[in-house]
Amino acid sequence: MDNTPVAEAGAGTLMDNVSSGLMGALNIWGQVEQIKAAKSASGGDQRQALVHPELPNGAAVAVEASLTPPAKKQVPFAINKPLMFASIGLLSIAFLLNRKGF
């Protein structure tokens, strides 16, 4: 049986997992760059720019934005009058008791 503490064993595998994940991401990025370089060398990027031009803001597709935001439905603020009077009464009693020293 291995006498390596669990914390050390877990730290090594975590670092190995992170390292292998980063290496995989770098390999995929390298493949993307190779495809882009081959496309650029063959003139494919120029043909694509003629067929699908990029918009000045960098977007690929023009989306018509509505200039007027939808009107929000305003709900009137309604308060229950007995509840309001009871709350004011309790606050005033608490204030008066506080002033008298209770």
Give the pLDDT band (50/70/90) at residue 2: low
If you search the block for the tokens 């995929």, which residue do you land on? Answer: 28
Higher pLDDT, 88 or 4: 88
The answer, yes or no, to whether residue 3 has pLDDT greater than 70, is no
pTM above 0.85, yes or no: no
What's the chain's average pLDDT? 80
Higher-scoring residue by pLDDT: 11, 50: 50
